């Protein structure tokens, strides 16, 4: 049948059918796009959840205090070795604390119960850092002192773990020793809370 043979009602219905087919063809890509977005959001959420529970390893490690220190103002120490050399010189536990700013378990160090007269040295470079005369029992599980030896340690602000603390490290090699707090005894009112693995002890000869 030719177009000229169509009745007026048939001619009027044709544009409507054409419009419906056009709308259907444009709606299909839009529906596919919406479905794709939903699948993407679901996969992203699932991946984030997997990271949160440890099923997928994190690609970016948390910022550490030593990262902030090196980024802000790199320090230069009298005793300095490559990371590989430090690993050779230190035990795994000493390396974790002195070079990675780790923390030992409380009450795990024999130096917490060391009460003899003598001197505590940095386990990284053997610099004398604390005297037994300033050691006290802080009941925290870590060797504690109310002051270091002169020119033995340095400090910097540590903002790791959502806290602001004062980190203490060896003045000569930069090895992490612990943190200092303002809840110690007189005469300084300070508590130098140190890791036992970061130090060695030599008793004073009788």
Edge-to-edge strand ranges of the sheet holding 199-203? 128-131, 118-122, 199-203
**How far is the C-alpha of 158 from the C-alpha of 65, rounded, in Å?**
5
Lowest-confidence region among 70-84, 109-123, 163-177, 188-202: 70-84
Identify which has the larger pLDDT, 149 or 57: 149
For residue 177, is it within any domain?
yes
For residue 173, is it within any domain?
yes
For residue 167, is it within any domain?
yes
Lowest-confidence region among 68-72, 81-85, 129-133, 159-163: 68-72
| Confidence grade of residue 205 (pLDDT, cut at 50, 70, 90) | confident
**How far is the C-alpha of 206 from the C-alpha of 204, rounded, in Å?**
6
Q: How many domains does the chain have?
A: 1
CB 145 within 8 A of CB 137: no
Identify which has the larger pLDDT, 36 or 133: 133
Bridge partners, residue 121, by sequence: 128, 200
Q: Is the pLDDT of residue 150 over 60?
A: yes
For residue 133, is it within any domain?
yes
- Tell me the mean pLDDT in the region 19-41: 47
- Tell me the mean pLDDT in the region 19-42: 47
For residue 23, is it within any domain?
no
**How far is the C-alpha of 83 from the C-alpha of 85, rounded, in Å?**
5
193 has catalytic annotation: yes
Bridge partners, residue 145, by sequence: 135, 192
For residue 123, is it within any domain?
yes
Q: Is the pLDDT of residue 93 over 90?
A: yes
For residue 37, is it within any domain?
no
| Confidence grade of residue 171 (pLDDT, cut at 50, 70, 90) | very high
pLDDT at 123: 98
For residue 100, the enclosing domain spans: 83-203
86: Cα within 13 Å, side-chain hemisphere: 20
The DSSP element (H or E) to which 156 belongs, if any, is strand 153-158
CATH number of 171's domain: 2.170.150.20
Which residues are within 8 A (CB) of 202 and not within 5 positions of it... i.e. 6 or more apart?
Answer: 118, 119, 121
> Helix (H, G, I), strand (E, B), or coil: what is residue 180?
strand
Q: Is the pLDDT of residue 125 over 50?
A: yes
Reading the block at residue 154, the tokens are 């340095």
CB-neighbour burial class of residue 175 (10 A; exposed 0-12, middle 13-18, buried 19+): buried
Pick the catalytic residue from 122, 125, 173, 193. 193
For residue 114, is it within any domain?
yes
Instruction: Tell me how far the alpha carbon of residue 109 is from its chain's centroid.
Output: 24
Prediction pTM value: 0.65
């Amino acid at each position: 049948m030719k177009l000229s043979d169509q009745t007026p009602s048939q001619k009027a219905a044709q544009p409507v059918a054409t419009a419906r087919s056009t709308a259907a063809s444009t709606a299909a890509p839009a529906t596919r796009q919406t479905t794709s977005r939903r699948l993407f959001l679901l996969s992203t959420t699932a991946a984030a959840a997997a990271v949160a529970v440890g099923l997928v390893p994190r690609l970016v490690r948390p910022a550490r205090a030593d990262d902030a220190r090196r980024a802000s103002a790199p320090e230069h120490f009298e005793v300095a070795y490559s990371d590989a050399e430090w690993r050779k010189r230190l035990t795994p536990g000493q390396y974790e604390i002195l070079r990675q700013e780790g923390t030992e378990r409380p009450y795990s160090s024999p130096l917490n119960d060391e009460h003899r007269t003598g001197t505590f040295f940095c386990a990284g470079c053997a610099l004398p850092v604390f005297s037994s005369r300033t050691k006290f029992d802080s009941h925290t599980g870590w060797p504690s002192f109310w002051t270091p030896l002169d020119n033995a340690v340095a400090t910097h602000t540590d903002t790791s773990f959502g806290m602001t603390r004062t980190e203490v490290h060896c003045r000569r090699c930069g090895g992490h020793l612990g943190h200092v707090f303002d809840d110690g005894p007189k005469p300084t009112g300070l508590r130098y809370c140190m890791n036992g693995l970061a130090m060695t002890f030599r008793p004073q000869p009788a």
